Structure 1
């Protein structure tokens, strides 16, 4: 009986050591890229008559780097915001449970993806990073009561007729963020700016992923 107990506790100890070793070495960055609605409808090779091709693969490639794990699922048509936000929120919790630091997780949302990311930031209490691309307008302010958590970076373009509004409403509203920054672009591309990995939003996003600084 004593031998069996010894073997059991020895096995448990080895398991704990191995788990600790994995956690200590886990210096990866986990990046969720949540695309715009047009890809739900047309697939990842979507083309807008007004904005041109949605360069999904190029965006994912631009977000990739050594020790970066990019999760870029192509959503199906008419995904419900809250349902998908719940799904990703649970995945965030699971990553943190395995030892991933919250600041090593970044949620990047573009257009509808940014609205989904806002729902995630409202419901998930962990201080993970968020980059919201073109996800605010009067409708969102009137119909949501988000209270953001984590480190939030908002990027919008003044020429964007769909979601070119700043995030002052949300920054000044009650929230639980550690950081809340905004970048105003003037690319004259309108909503198209998020269809391609232009440096104006890719470069600050990379900085936010690494150090949550601009």
Structure 2
């Protein structure tokens, strides 16, 4: 009897928790307000139909491998494969609508993270501007170009974590943050040095995957 009752109690308790860990191609139909959601936006080269395209200088971009390594049991990962020639501002609007749907379904902004590399990082920045949430989490991977720094209409909102490669021509988000002083709730940035230039983010290297996941899973904004 004790074992049976223990099993019933354990089942009830366990079923009341949703630990995430799923990978979605788009926003799932079922939304749990207590779960955490991470959106990953890939680089320009992946736009189209090939999830593992080859760049003549930087090699293969392995979108499936990145999704697998970026996923975690503590959150749901939403990683959409964008069509070729996707207009950044239009897609950012779609991304913003997905986040707004989560918010309307009771998901706290602090449980939502936007992660983007290169073109995906540009899209992430635009979506952040659209949402204007001081509590959302934003991860920019090698996307703070001089062009983005000059676009006054784009201001990153929320808690920002930036990662850039020292051998890459795209560097720090410092200039972007400098003109977003009233919108960035917190800012942390690190550099990695793999010697792989922009291609450092083409595969799930531990140099950037590990710190990004650690930041996404942090208990308090920093």
Instruction: Confirm or deny that 1:187 pairs with 2:194.
Output: yes
* Aligned with residue 155 of structure 1, among 134, 141, 163: 163
CA RMSD of aligned residues (A): 2.0
Aligned pairs, how many?
190
Report the equivalent of 1:34.
41
Instruction: Confirm or deny that 1:60 pairs with 2:67.
Output: yes
Q: Deviations over 1:58-107 (max 9, x none)?
A: 11011112242111111011111111111111111110111111111111
Give how far 1:139 is off. Answer: 2.2
SS in 2 for 1:96: helix
- 1 CA distance for matches of 2:137 and 2:151? 24
Q: Rg bigger for which structure?
A: 1
Give how far 1:135 is off. Answer: 0.3
Give how far 1:47 is off. Answer: 1.1
* Aligned with residue 139 of structure 1, among 144, 147, 150: 147
SS in 1 for 2:155: coil
Matches within 5 A, 1:171-186: 171-174=177-180, 175-186=182-193
- 1 CA distance for matches of 2:48 and 2:206? 27
* Aligned with residue 173 of structure 2, among 145, 162, 167: 167
Structure with more of its chain in helix, by fraction: 1
Report the equivalent of 2:83.
76
- 2 CA distance for matches of 1:55 and 1:213? 30
Question: TM-score, with normalisation over the residues of structure 1?
Answer: 0.82
- 1 CA distance for matches of 2:146 and 2:184? 22
Query: Segments of 4+ in structure 1 off by > 4 A?
Result: none
Unaligned ranges ≥5, structure 2: 1-16, 19-31
SS in 2 for 1:94: helix
- 1 CA distance for matches of 2:156 and 2:72? 27
Question: TM-score, with normalisation over the residues of structure 2?
Answer: 0.79
Instruction: Confirm or deny that 1:198 pairs with 2:188.
Output: no
* Aligned with residue 111 of structure 2, among 101, 104, 115: 104
Instruction: Confirm or deny that 1:209 pairs with 2:216.
Output: yes
Matched-pair contact (CA < 8 Å) for 1:207–1:213: no
